[in-house]
Amino acid sequence: MRIFRYLVDMKAVPVDFFADPDGNWERDSLVEAAGFDPNNEEVAIGALTDAFEGHPDGAAVVTRTLEGRAYIAVVECVERPQPIRIHPARTAQPRVAA
């Protein structure tokens, strides 16, 4: 899991709170990863409907409003594939018998 926290206007976040995030997750693990109390009923979980701040669509959005401000955490539950690095092959020089 990769976790990123923001203090933003929720209107700026492309999130659907009726959608399930991609990947393997449980409610309590997402809420704890976001830094919120899992026993708090005021936490909402949704999924990004479009890329946001470099996060892929489908990433989890965990939010809670405190004092009129929305605190969110974007949690990427799916491991991003690592790029394959291809190094040029070393060509072996043929050995010539003497």
For 37-71, write each residue's pLDDT tens digit. 888 778 899 999 999 998 999 999 999 876 667 78
Name the least confident of 39-48, 67-76, 89-98. Answer: 89-98
Q: Which residues are CB-neighbours of 74 under 8 A, at least 6 positions away? A: 3, 4, 6, 48, 52, 53, 55, 59, 60, 61
Query: What mean pLDDT is predicted for residues 1-18?
Result: 88
Nearest to 70 by CA among 15, 18, 1, 3: 15
Query: What mean pLDDT is predicted for residues 12-22?
Result: 91
Handedness of CA 29, 32, 37, 40 (dihedral sign): negative
Q: What is the value of pTM for the model shown?
A: 0.73
